[in-house]
Structure 1
Amino acid sequence: MNKSELIDAMAASAGITKAAAKLALESFLESVEGTLQKGGRVSLVGFGSWSVSKRAAREGRNPQTGKTIKIAAKNVVKFKAGAELEGSVNKK
């Protein structure tokens, strides 16, 4: 499912216009992004949580040449699925 398909599904499920669904989705994404940029955590009980983790600088290898390269430190976004989401995906 891509973004436009998600907007269509949200609009149909909630009985709202596609424009309203698009605005709601974009507002949600901006809020999550803003919180993560500040180093915060977003948690939706039953669905999952997003957090930011720091990845240290390290050395790696260029697979084509085999030379050692330096990989810079960076922040990465992590998502951990909630129990209800995992349960619904693993139903038989």
Structure 2
Amino acid sequence: MADKSLNRTELVAAVASESGQSQAAVNGVVDALFAVVAKNVGEGTKVTIPGWISFEKTHRAARTGRNPQTGEPLEIAASDSVKVGAGSKLKAAVK
């Protein structure tokens, strides 16, 4: 795993510094970006930023699982989830 991490505050400060915008303006854009992504993915629309990242709603069917302590079978309900994929530019950046 990564030894370093970049939290939201540090990300906003870095983007503000790189773009010459205020941190308040960048923070508003980040909020708007995630609001739009969440709304669209929640509605079932795939959101893609070509070369960088994609977000897609997925469905998991109901299935039978096992309680690991007792071994008894139990029903796991159907659910929705999110699939996040890295694009080619992001993959190339980590090589």
TM over 0.5: yes
Q: In structure 1, what residue type is equivalent to 2:9?
A: S
- Structure 1: 5+ residue runs without aligned partners? none
Deviation, 1:16, is: 1.2
Matches within 5 A, 1:6-85: 6-85=11-90
**Partner residue of 2:3?**
none
3-state SS of 1:52 partner: strand
- Aligned-pair identity (%): 37
Q: Which runs of 4+ in 1 moved over 2 A?
A: none
3-state SS of 2:85 partner: strand
1:4 correspondence with 2:9: yes
- Structure 2: 5+ residue runs without aligned partners? 1-5
TM-score in terms of structure 1 length: 0.90
Q: Distance in 2 between matches of 1:13 and 1:66?
A: 55
The alignment's C-alpha RMSD in Å is 1.0
Q: Distance in 2 between matches of 1:69 and 1:20?
A: 49
3-state SS of 1:50 partner: strand
3-state SS of 1:63 partner: coil
